[in-house]
Amino acid sequence: MQTELSCTPLHTAHEALGARMVPFAGWSMPVQYTGVIEEHRAVRTRAGLFDLSHMGEFEVRGEQAVAFLNHALTNDASRLAMGQAQYTLIPYTDGTLVDDAILYRLPGRYLLVVNASNIDKDLEWLQHQLLGFPDVELTDKSAETALVALQGPLSEQVLAPLTDADLSNLEYYYALDTRVCGAPALLARTGYTGEDGFEVFVSPEDASAVWDGLLEAGRPVGLMPVGLAARDTLRLEAKMALYGHEISDQTNPIEAGLGWAVKLDKGDFVGREALEREKKLGPARKLVGFELKDRGVPRAEQSLYKDGEHIGFVTSGTHSPTLGKAIGLGYVPARYAAPGTEIQVMIRDKAARALVVKTPFYKREKGVAK
Residue 171, sorted as left (phi over 0), alpha (psi -120 to 50) or beta, turns out to be beta
What is the spatial distance between Cα 296 and Cα 292, in angstroms, rounded to a whole number?
Answer: 8
| Minimum gap (Å) between residue 14 Cβ and another protein | 16
CA dist 228 and 18 (Å) reads 14
User: What gap in Å lies between CA 269 and CA 17, rounded to an integer?
Assistant: 46
Comparing CB distances to another protein, the nearer of 142 and 322 is 322
Is 299 one of the binding residues for another protein (CB under 8 A)? yes
Among positions 121, 266, 319, 364, the unique one binding another protein when judged by CB under 8 A = 319
Secondary structure class of 89 (helix, strand, coil): strand
Tally of CB atoms within 10 A around 341: 16
Q: Is 229 in the site for another protein (CB under 8 A)?
A: yes
Residue 295 burial by Cβ neighbours in a 10 Å radius (0-12, 13-18, 19+): exposed
We find the least distance from the C-beta atom of residue 37 to another protein, in angstroms, to be 5
Q: Which is nearer to another protein, 217 or 242 (CB)?
A: 242
User: To the nearest whole angstrom, how small is the minimum distance from the Cβ of residue 342 to another protein?
Assistant: 21
91 C-beta neighbours (distance < 10 Å), count: 24
In the complex, what is the shortest distance from the CB of residue 300 to another protein, in angstroms, rounded to a whole number?
A: 11
Among 297, 346, 351, 355, indicate the residue that binds another protein (CB under 8 A): 297
Q: Does 352 bind another protein (CB under 8 A)?
A: no
Q: Nearest approach, Cβ of 41 to another protein (angstroms)?
A: 11
Question: Applying CB under 8 A, which of residues 151, 233, 344, 359 lies at the interface with another protein?
Answer: 233
DSSP 91-136: E-TTS-EEEEEEEEEETTEEEEEE-GGGHHHHHHHHHHHTTT-TT-
Can you tell me which of 42, 326, 343, 356 binds another protein, judged by CB under 8 A?
A: 326
Least distance from another protein to the Cβ atom of residue 229, Å:
5
Tell me how far apart the alpha carbons of residues 194 and 197 are, in angstroms, rounded to a whole number.
Answer: 9
Name which position in 108, 265, 295, 365 contacts another protein (CB under 8 A): 295
Is 29 an interacting residue with respect to another protein (CB under 8 A)?
Answer: no
Rounded Cα distance, 25 and 10, in Å = 17
For residues 55 and 235, the answer to whether their CB atoms sit within 8 Å is no
Residues 119-158 that bind another protein (CB under 8 A): none
Which region among 1-9, 34-42, 237-245, 335-343 touches another protein (by CB under 8 A)? 34-42
Q: Whole-number minimum distance, CB 150 to another protein, in Å?
A: 22
User: Which chain residues interact with another protein by CB under 8 A?
Assistant: 20, 31-32, 35-37, 40, 229, 232-233, 295-297, 299, 318-319, 321, 326, 348
